[in-house]
Every structure is written in C-alpha cells, then in structure tokens.
C-alpha cells in the first residue's frame, strides 16, 4: 500500500475481503438476476420467473429461490389453492441490495449491445 493508485480508503477496506456468505450466494447462477427480477416484478410467481428468464432449468431456479429465501433476502408466500400459488417478493429491508445490483445489470446489458 505505498505508491499504488487507490480510489478511496473505504474501498480499500472492503474490496479484497474473503468470500462472504452473501457474495457466495450472489455468485451462483441466476442469483443476481433472480433478485433483481423479483424486485422488479414483485409479487412474482415461480412460473413467471421461469418464462422471464427463458433458459433457466427448473431445478436451478428452484434452488436459487430456496437459497435466497433461506438467506432472508426473499419472502415466500404460499396460498392453499388448486392449482397451487406461491408468490415471492423482496424482504422488507433488502430492497436496497436490489437497488445496488440493478445498475450492474444495466451496465452488463449496455455493454452487451455496444461491444
């Protein structure tokens, strides 16, 4: 940490930290997208996400939703109807994460179209 360029000090403290639980979670397939999609479409059902993504496998989407719910980032509400209905939405206090991630997805998509 001497003659290196450094954006700012707070970043220096956080950036190279070891894998934390949440980042581990976000590093799985479709985790980021799922989070943002739920934030945008909420309340959203399993089938809606499946068709929105188009190419997720049902097992992956299922376990991703399970992971995120278990981690407290999503809420799952099940209604006793036939056919069954399950709705997902962001947990009350996790909306902020989605707000941080959306620009990342925006960036990625913009890059996709320009490069």
- Compare residues 66 and 72 and give the one whose CB is closer to DNA: 66
| Beta strands at 85-90 and 44-45: parallel, antiparallel or unpaired | antiparallel
Cα separation of 88 and 1, whole Å?
45
Q: Which residues contact 73 (CB under 8 A, 6 or more apart)?
A: 25, 35, 90, 91, 94, 97
Q: Contact with a copy of itself (CB under 8 A): which of 45, 46, 47, 53?
A: 53
- Compare residues 9 and 82 and give the one whose CB is closer to a copy of itself: 9
Cα separation of 76 and 11, whole Å?
34
The answer to whether residue 83 forms part of the interface with DNA (CB under 7 A) is yes
88 touches 74 (CB < 8 A) = yes
The answer to whether residue 86 forms part of the interface with a copy of itself (CB under 8 A) is no
- Compare residues 42 and 69 and give the one whose CB is closer to a copy of itself: 42
**Token pair of 30 as six digits:** 């479709």
The answer to whether residue 6 forms part of the interface with a copy of itself (CB under 8 A) is yes
Which of a copy of itself, DNA, none interacts with 15 (beta carbon under 5 to 8 A by kind)? a copy of itself
How many C-beta atoms surround the C-beta of residue 25 within 10 A? Answer: 17
Report the interface residues with a copy of itself, using CB under 8 A: 4-7, 10-12, 14-23, 26-33, 36-37, 39-43, 49, 52-55, 72, 96-109, 111-112, 115
């Amino acid at each position: 940490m001497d003659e290196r360029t450094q954006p700012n000090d707070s970043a220096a403290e956080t950036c190279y930290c070891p894998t934390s639980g949440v980042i581990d979670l976000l590093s799985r397939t479709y985790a980021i997208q799922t989070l943002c999609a739920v934030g945008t479409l909420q309340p959203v059902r399993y089938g809606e996400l499946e068709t929105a993504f188009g190419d997720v496998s049902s097992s992956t989407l299922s376990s991703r939703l399970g992971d995120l719910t278990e981690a407290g980032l999503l809420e799952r509400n099940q209604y006793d109807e036939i056919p069954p209905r399950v709705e997902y939405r962001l947990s009350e206090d996790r909306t902020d994460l989605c707000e941080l991630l959306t620009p990342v997805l925006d960036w990625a998509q913009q890059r996709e179209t320009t490069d």
